[in-house]
């Protein structure tokens, strides 16, 4: 009989009122490289209960040899997916600080927000690229192998195997 025990440490940083998730950290081996994945917006889950995106990100990073996942978002409000037009504060004032700290602590930063469908999202993407300007050498994109464009972990073509390409190699990466 062989018993294997594993622990994933979860740490979530919320705003005081818990309406914004600023950072979700999952760590299973602190000795391995760290990765930051940036998607569009969070769900409230993260500490114990996880959504499908969080599970797919954790699984992919584990398979790629990483030991820590920092998950941050373009927008931080936890109910944005349900009511974007009704939310006044889409991004917490400290969001960029958390994105920058996670990126600095990571060996790779992966943009994985999928397609951009509005000017609001395009503007936020440009803000993130400017924020990470000094670290663009470690920024990569989760790419749909069929279109060679940025995709989200939920895309059926990227669920099983991630195709990561350096930011500098991809055109039309928003």
The per-residue pLDDT for range 7-36, each reduced to its tens digit, is 999 999 999 999 999 999 999 999 999 999
If phi > 0 it is left, if psi is from -120 to 50 it is alpha, else beta; for residue 138 that is: alpha
Q: Predicted confidence band at 108 (pLDDT cuts at 50, 70, 90)?
A: very high
Determine the pLDDT at residue 48. 85
What value does the mean pLDDT of the chain take?
A: 91
CB 113 within 8 A of CB 40: yes
Determine the pLDDT at residue 102. 98
Bridge partners (DSSP) listed for residue 139: 109
Determine the pLDDT at residue 85. 67
Q: pLDDT digits over 113-145, tens only?
A: 998 888 988 999 999 999 999 999 999 999 999
- pLDDT exceeds cutoff 70 at 84: no
CA distance 8 to 125: 30
Determine the pLDDT at residue 138. 96
Q: pLDDT digits over 58-79, tens only?
A: 999 999 999 999 999 999 998 8
Q: Predicted confidence band at 172 (pLDDT cuts at 50, 70, 90)?
A: very low
27-65 per-residue burial string, b: 16 or more CB within 10 A, e: under 16: bbeeebebbbbbbbbbbeebeeebeebbebbbebbbeee
DSSP H helices in the chain: 52-63, 80-83, 95-105, 119-131
CA distance 16 to 13: 9
């Amino acid at each position: 009989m062989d018993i294997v025990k594993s622990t994933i440490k979860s740490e979530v940083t919320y705003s005081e009122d818990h309406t914004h998730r600023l950072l979700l950290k999952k760590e299973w081996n602190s000795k391995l490289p760290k990765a930051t994945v940036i998607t569009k917006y969070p769900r409230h889950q993260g500490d114990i209960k996880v959504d499908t995106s969080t599970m797919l990100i954790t699984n992919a990073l584990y398979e790629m040899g990483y030991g820590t996942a920092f998950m941050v978002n373009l927008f931080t409000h936890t109910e944005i997916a349900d009511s974007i037009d009704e939310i006044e504060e889409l991004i917490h004032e400290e969001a960029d600080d958390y994105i920058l700290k996670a990126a600095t602590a990571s060996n790779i930063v992966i943009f994985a927000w999928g397609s951009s469908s509005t000017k609001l999202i395009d503007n936020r993407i440009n803000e993130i690229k400017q924020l990470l300007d000094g670290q663009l050498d470690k920024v990569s994109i989760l790419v749909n192998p069929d279109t060679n464009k940025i995709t989200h972990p939920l895309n059926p073509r990227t669920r099983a195997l991630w195709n990561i390409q350096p930011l500098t190699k991809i055109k039309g990466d928003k």
